[in-house]
């Protein structure tokens, strides 16, 4: 059977105002930046797939984490309709790169989906380091949880549908995963917060919020081995509705199978 041609579509789902040092480890302290929160649709498979679900409530985020804005058209159900013409109820699969508030906040919008997360991340979300507790707070107590049976736990690399694979990229969070999509333009990696922006990948510098620095460095190297195109989790250079950013040739490392 021929593998269907897949496309990825980046959708903006709100904005956070943060210190730049939280994006790129120990760089640019004291510079405030407004960064997008990306969700991504994977189009063309026989199932409709969304990677990360953004924020749930900008007021909650502004109260507990950092200043947050979300225009009405940036609500994920609206963005999905605008960029790929889907209703939330049509989505079959949601992949959460990790369970921070700005990557799983919209999960309950998807009433007919199953949710794919690394089991390690699910476990960690219930007992995070104190430095990360705020980021999981909404997931744990902020709203109606998803029914247990809707979660689909994976352990390591897993093929989700032909051409779509999840790849553990721990470091930002211990159970973090990225999503690797074979597209006509090349291998696209939806990095989640393994890379907040291209600078993390090109310079091999961790994100500013890290659970384990050595693991994060290894995950960034892995992305440089396999990616032609990337959608970093909060990169302002990704255009809304686009398929991401092409990795500069200088950032690539020799490909290793596995």
Per CB under 5 A, residues contacting Zn ion are: 100, 193
Indicate the Cα dihedral angle 94, 157, 247, 208, nearest 10°: 80
Among residues 75 and 100, whose Cβ is nearest to Zn ion? 100
User: Pairing mode, if any, of strands 186-192 and 177-183?
Assistant: antiparallel
Give me the least distance between CB of 152 and Zn ion, in Å please: 21
User: Within a 10 A sphere around the Cβ of 234, how many other Cβ atoms?
Assistant: 23
Among residues 84 and 167, whose Cβ is nearest to Zn ion? 167
Give me the least distance between CB of 182 and Zn ion, in Å please: 25
User: Within a 10 A sphere around the Cβ of 127, how many other Cβ atoms?
Assistant: 8
Give me the least distance between CB of 147 and Zn ion, in Å please: 24
Q: Where are the beta strands (DSSP E) in the chain?
A: 7-19, 32-43, 49-51, 68-69, 93-95, 114-118, 151-154, 158-161, 164-168, 177-183, 186-192, 229-232, 245-246
The DSSP H or E segment spanning 122 is helix 119-125
Structure tokens at 44: 């063309």
Among residues 74 and 216, whose Cβ is nearest to Zn ion? 216
Give me the least distance between CB of 180 and Zn ion, in Å please: 19
Among residues 138 and 193, whose Cβ is nearest to Zn ion? 193
Among residues 44 and 174, whose Cβ is nearest to Zn ion? 174
Among residues 100 and 222, whose Cβ is nearest to Zn ion? 100
Residue 135's alpha-carbon distances to 129, 152, 192, 209, in angstroms, are: 10, 22, 14, 11
Give me the least distance between CB of 146 and Zn ion, in Å please: 19
Give me the least distance between CB of 168 and Zn ion, in Å please: 15
d(CA 59, CA 27): 28
Among residues 48 and 56, whose Cβ is nearest to Zn ion? 56
Give me the least distance between CB of 215 and Zn ion, in Å please: 14
Cβ atoms of residues 76 and 88 within 8 Å: yes
């Amino acid at each position: 059977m021929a593998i269907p041609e897949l496309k990825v579509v980046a959708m903006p789902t709100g904005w956070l105002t943060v210190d730049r040092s939280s994006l790129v480890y120990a760089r640019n302290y004291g510079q405030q930046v407004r960064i997008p929160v990306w969700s991504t649709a994977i189009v063309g498979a026989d199932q409709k797939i969304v990677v990360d679900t953004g924020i749930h409530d900008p007021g909650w985020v502004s109260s507990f984490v950092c200043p947050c804005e979300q225009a009405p058209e940036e609500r994920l159900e609206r963005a999905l309709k605008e960029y790929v013409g889907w209703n939330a109820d049509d989505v079959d699969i949601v992949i959460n790169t990790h369970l921070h508030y700005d990557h799983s906040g919209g999960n309950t919008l998807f009433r007919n989906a199953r949710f794919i997360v690394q089991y390690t991340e699910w476990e960690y979300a219930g007992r995070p380091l104190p430095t990360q507790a705020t980021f999981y707070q909404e997931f744990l107590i902020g709203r109606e949880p998803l029914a247990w049976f809707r979660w689909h736990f994976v352990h390591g690399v897993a093929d989700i549908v032909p051409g779509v694979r999840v790849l553990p990229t721990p470091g930002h969070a211990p159970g973090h995963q990225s999503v690797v999509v074979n597209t006509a333009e090349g291998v696209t990696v939806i990095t989640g917060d393994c890379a907040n922006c291209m600078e993390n990948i090109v310079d091999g510098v961790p994100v500013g919020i890290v659970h384990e620095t050595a693991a994060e460095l290894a995950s960034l190297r892995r992305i440089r081995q396999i990616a032609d195109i990337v959608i970093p989790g909060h990169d302002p250079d990704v255009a809304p509705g686009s398929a991401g950013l092409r990795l500069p040739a200088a950032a690539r490392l020799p490909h290793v199978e596995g």
